[in-house]
Chains A and B, each alone.
Chain A
Amino acid sequence: MNRFAWLLDRLAYEPRRNGKLALIADYLRTTPDPDRGYALAAMTGGLVFQNAKPGLIRALIAERTDPVLFALSYDYVGDLSETVALMWPARHGANDVPHLPDVVAGLQKSGKTEMPRLIASWLDALDETGRWALLKLITGALRIGVSARLAKTAAASLGGIPADEVEQVWHGLEPPYTALFAWLEGRGPRPEASDPAPFRPVMLSHAIEDGDFDKFDAAEFAAEWKWDGIRVQAVAGTRPDGGRTVRLYSRTGEEIGAAFPDLTEALTQDGALDGELLVMRDGTVQSFNTLQQRLNRKQVTAKMLAGFPAHIRVYDLLAEGDEDLRELSYVERRVRLEAFLGRLGSTRFDLSPRIPFASWEELTVARADPASAGAGGDAEAVEGCMLKRLDSPYLPGRPKGYWYKWKRDARLVDCVLMYAQRGHGKRSSFYSDYTFGVWRVGETGADELVPVGKAYFGFTDEELIEIDRYVRKNTENRFGPVREVTHTAVSGLVFEVAFEGLQRSTRHKSGLAMRFPRISRIRWDKPPGEADRIETLEALLPG
């Protein structure tokens, strides 16, 4: 456990990607099985502990510390694991330092009643760094700047192979990955990708840049709408025993199928589809806001299934039966996809249409008005266009020169900063989350500000320091980690807020919900009284 803790600690302070890669690779090279396999599992999100949850940690620390001091400390540190690791009353020599495989086994197998005592005994035996690493492991959010992809890249480097080769066998493997390490170190065969429905790394696009259109030939590209949903991969395959496996993956390869039985049931043909998860009612795509109500739910009720029917708008076919199609061109895959969907014959899956255009000028017109360019009633769910080279193969990652996204121009509105909250993690000492509002006529007839959204990015680190200073100097009230900032017509700070779309919402006082709001400019120069009014936003609401 100490060596694993040392690795996490070093990774947390190593800013450079190559430095992180070297640290992980060195650890994997010099640490025996099964320890290294569990460490790799921890970094790739492969460890789930049913009975060890953050709530349990809170209970343990509550038994040992003063609640006021804990609350003040947590507010200061901004990270539960770190706060507990630092506050835990030391009992050095209380126990032997546990080994990582024992910790993993203990966390996986212990029941709810014995778990607290077990974790407490480990915390007693470890030092600050060890406690921190253990708690990170338990809570599942390492937050050390290491993605699953980076960890796999480091593992792959043991065998001198690209990460994608590890990716291809990954879904047939289980922690502690002894077969994988044997293969990487030339001591064993390539593990069978025995999974009949594996995840395939997705292909990503680059944002279109000024001047790109001068270089590109419109005849070499296809265009599709960019849908405002969730990128998913739906995969179905047949096992050797004849049974079928159907999985739904997020763009990073996490399985999310359990929440979407309506989709997995409907995928009755073997293949791997790349598309956008949407909610459709009466043949019309619903807003992202509606989709969100279907997301992040572990259990789906019949009511949820009926009220928020899930749908995939498909734009690529990566495999059909056992055949890998990724080497084929976009045009060839598209032909196969159309045939596949025709055979599937399900209303849950439909084809993302191509936008007809002969020149970039025509596409510009279509992008400005999707409703009359083929998107019809679904136009509200369009957030721009995708451009795909007709000859592009399906490549993992973000290869240059094939796919481009050309997003709709953001909407802008001037809002007044009303509340600021301390951030977490790296930003725990900064007021970095901002609630802002626009003017409306209040009940008394006088103008008042009503909150319309919250944003915590869009500004530079230097600007954050300035805003933080402003917040601290212009605090009217404090509510725990939140400060109310001066916001009158003459005194206050105006943000130009950019957002992608606007929906009606009953949860917000203003009756509005912004999609993807961020601070686009800080208007130090603008008097708050000149910020926008609610009527400006209401005019932007969809019919």
Chain B
Amino acid sequence: MKPSDLLIPTPAGLYCPLADIHIDPVRPVARALITHGHSDHARAGHGAVLATSETLAIMALRYGEAFTGSRQVAAPGETTRIGEVDFRFVPAGHVLGSAQIVVEHKGLRIVVSGDYKRERDPTCAPFEPVICDVFITEATFGLPVFRHPPASAETAKLLDSVRLFPERTHIVGAYSLGKAQRLMALIREAGYERPLFIHGAVEKITELYQAEGIPLGDVRKIEPGDRKAEGRKAFAGEIVICPPSAIQDLWSRRFPDPVTAFASGWMRIRARARQKGVELPLIISDHADWDDLQATIREVQAGEIWITHGEAEALAHWCGTVGLKGMPLHLVGYGDEGEAEPEGKPAEASA
């Protein structure tokens, strides 16, 4: 069997005819396998969903308990047979509950990696490379200009700035699922013990992370009345974490002389930071950078690399230079949340 018979790129997403399932479908389907909880991969309205317990919990939190007809938990490492095809969920290191999906049929193995990263993340299980025939990868940061520095160094930059400007509030834009919690954990690892303040939009997911046993320390939601009560001096010297869209909102301007920070792989590019009025860019990403994309592709030893979204042309070109078959799939609809920014949304130069 050819790999392109086992998994077919369709407008709804990757489709496996032998099992009659879609992976990360972008429109409602009968049966869906979901890699992780970001809204461009995990959508509501499917007939049945198979995903990790964390991903199911995230979907229920965001869309309500009725987000799918029926649900089934995929335990990491365990094989689920659907039709004649074996499916196995393996950690992807992207956000809490994120998984790669290994698709296997008669000795042909395809790995759908979903979104992934290789850098250590205290809030989720690390990426496990699986040797395969076809590796399906993202390429959000698939250009050689994207080399993420160690996240700990970027966190130190933030804490240095907090020490330097004790009279100002540091407002950090960070994606509400994954990035925000990872940032909190990194800040705690760096020894910062003051309370961390969060925008209301980050609250529920953060509680879910904490309920899953991830220590984030003292995290407090900012109530509408808090700032009125303490006046202009409220939150001076504190760190406030909010969704990226809020850093340019009126909401952020009510803090005393705020320093605007943004935690994202896009912050590598100066123009991106300046577009968003970011004064303190923090290059912290939930996606593999250029070097890690290459290292991962080499590690899984696949002869064919299919590229779902991001800078697919560049990564496919590189594959060619090292003798691998690289193929952009031009899947539409990914990158609506988190760092994988779609072309049509320049204003949301996100996470």
Chain A residues in contact with chain B, CB under 8 A? Answer: 12-15, 65-66, 68-69, 72-73, 76-79, 82-83, 86-87, 425-430, 465, 468-469, 472-473
A77 to B314, CA, bound (A): 14
Give the interface residue-count category, chain B: 20 to 34
Classify the interface of chain A: helix, strand, loop or mixed.
Answer: helix
Q: How far is the CA of A87 from the CA of B268 in the complex (A)?
A: 12
Interface string of B243-286 (1 = CB under 8 A from A): 00000000000000000000000001111111101111100000
Q: Are A428 and B314 in contact (CB under 8 A)?
A: no
A432–chain B nearest beta-carbon distance, Å: 10
B349 and A12 within 8 A (CB): no
* New A-B contacts (8) at CB < 8 Å, excluding given A65-B144, A469-B344: A13-B280, A14-B279, A73-B143, A78-B271, A82-B145, A82-B270, A426-B274, A465-B347
Return B34 CB to nearest CB of chain A, in Å: 28
Tell whether B313 is near chain A: CB-to-CB under 8 Å. Answer: yes
Q: How far is the CA of A465 from the CA of B347 in the complex (A)?
A: 6
Chain A residue contacts of B274, Cβ below 8 A = 12-13, 426
Number of residue pairs spanning A and B whose beta carbons lie under 8 angstroms apart: 76
Decide yes or no whether B4 CB sits under 8 A from chain A: no
Closest chain B residue to A68, Cβ basis: B317
Cβ proximity bits B155-199 to A, threshold 8 Å, 1 near / 0 not: 000000000000000000000000000000000000000000000
The residues of A that contact B311 with a CB separation of less than 8 Å are 72, 76
Give a binary string over B105-146; 1 marks a CB under 8 Å from any A CB, 0 the rest: 000000000000000000000000000000000000001111
Q: A82-B270, A429-B349 are in contact. Are A472 and B314 (CB under 8 A)?
A: no
Which interface residue of A426, A427, A428, A429 has the most chain B CB atoms within 10 A? A429
Contacts of B145 in A (CB 8 A): 73, 76-77, 82-83, 86-87
Once the chains are docked, how many angstroms separate the CA of A12 from the CA of B281?
Answer: 11
Given contacts A72-B311, A473-B344, contact A86 B268 (CB under 8 A): yes
Query: Which residues does chain A contribute within 8 Å of B313, judged by CB atoms?
Result: 72
Bound-complex Cα distance A179 to B263 (A): 44
Of the A-B pairs whose beta carbons lie under 8 Å apart in the complex, a sample of 14, sorted by A's number, is A13-B274, A15-B279, A66-B318, A68-B317, A69-B317, A76-B145, A86-B145, A86-B146, A86-B147, A429-B346, A465-B346, A468-B346, A469-B344, A469-B345
Could you say which of B144, B280, B281, B349 contacts A87, with CB atoms under 8 Å apart? Answer: B144
Chain B, Cβ-Cβ closest to A65? B144
Q: Bound state CA distance, A429 and B344, in angstroms? A: 10
Q: Which residues from chain B contact A428 at a C-beta distance below 8 Å? A: 269, 271
Q: A13-B279, A86-B145 are in contact. Are A430 and B269 (CB under 8 A)?
A: no
Q: Are B280 and A472 in contact (CB under 8 A)?
A: no
What CA separation (Å) do A475 and B191 show in the bound complex? Answer: 50
Residues A12 and B270 in contact in the complex (CB < 8 Å), given A86-B145, A429-B275? yes
**B-to-A contact residues, CB < 8 Å:** 143-147, 268-275, 277-281, 311, 313-314, 317-318, 321, 343-347, 349
**Cβ A77 vs Cβ B317 within 8 A:** no
Identify A15's interface contact among B144, B271, B277, CB under 8 A.
B277
On whether the beta carbons of B317 and A82 are closer than 8 Å, the reply is no
- Which of A69, A465, A473 is most buried by chain B, counting CB atoms within 10 A of its CB? A69
Chain A contacts for B278, CB-based, 8 A: 13
- Contact, CB under 8 Å: B281 / A73: no
The docked-state distance in angstroms from the alpha carbon of A82 to that of B272 is: 12
Q: When A and B form their complex, which 10 residue pairs have the shortest distance between CB atoms, in order from nearest?
A: A86-B145, A428-B271, A465-B347, A72-B314, A73-B145, A73-B143, A472-B344, A87-B144, A68-B317, A13-B279
Chain B residues with CB under 8 Å of A87's CB are 144-145
Residue of A nearest to B341 (CB): A429
The answer to whether A79 and B346 have CB atoms under 8 Å apart is: no
A13-B274, A66-B321, A69-B317 known; A76 vs B347 contact (CB < 8 Å): no
CA distance A465 to B346 in the complex (A): 7
Asked if B144 and A79 sit within 8 Å, CB to CB, the answer is no
- Assembled-state Cα–Cα distance A426/B272 (Å): 7
Q: In the assembled complex, how far is the CB of residue B310 from the closest CB belonging to chain A, in whole angstroms? A: 11
Tell me how far the C-beta of A422 lies from the nearest C-beta in chain B, rounded to whole angstroms.
10
Chain B residues with Cβ below 8 Å from A426 are 271, 274-275
Q: Name the B residues within 8 Å of A427 (CB-CB).
A: 271, 275
Instruction: Kindly state the separation between the CA atoms of A78 and B270 in the bound complex, as whole angstroms.
Output: 10
**B271 near A77 (CB under 8 angstroms)?**
yes
Q: Are A69 and B318 in contact (CB under 8 A)?
A: yes
Taken together as a complex, chains A and B put the C-alpha atoms of A66 and B320 apart, in Å, by 12
Bound CA–CA A289/B269 (angstroms): 37
Is B271 a contact of A79 with CB atoms below 8 Å?
yes
Among B268, B273, B318, B347, residue most surrounded by chain A Cβ atoms (within 10 Å) = B347
Closest residue to A16 on the B side, CB-wise? Answer: B279
B217 to chain A, nearest CB (A): 28
Chain B residue numbers with a CB within 8 Å of A66 are: 317-318, 321
Given B147, B279, B280, B346, which contacts A430 in the complex, CB threshold below 8 Å? Answer: B346
A427, B269: Cα distance in complex, Å: 12
Min distance, Cβ A478 to any Cβ of chain B, angstroms: 11
Contact between A69 and B271, CB atoms less than 8 A apart: no
* Contact between chains at A77 and B273 (CB < 8 Å): no
Residues of A near B345 (CB, < 8 A) are: 469
Is the pair A425, B346 in contact by a Cβ cutoff of 8 Å?
Answer: no
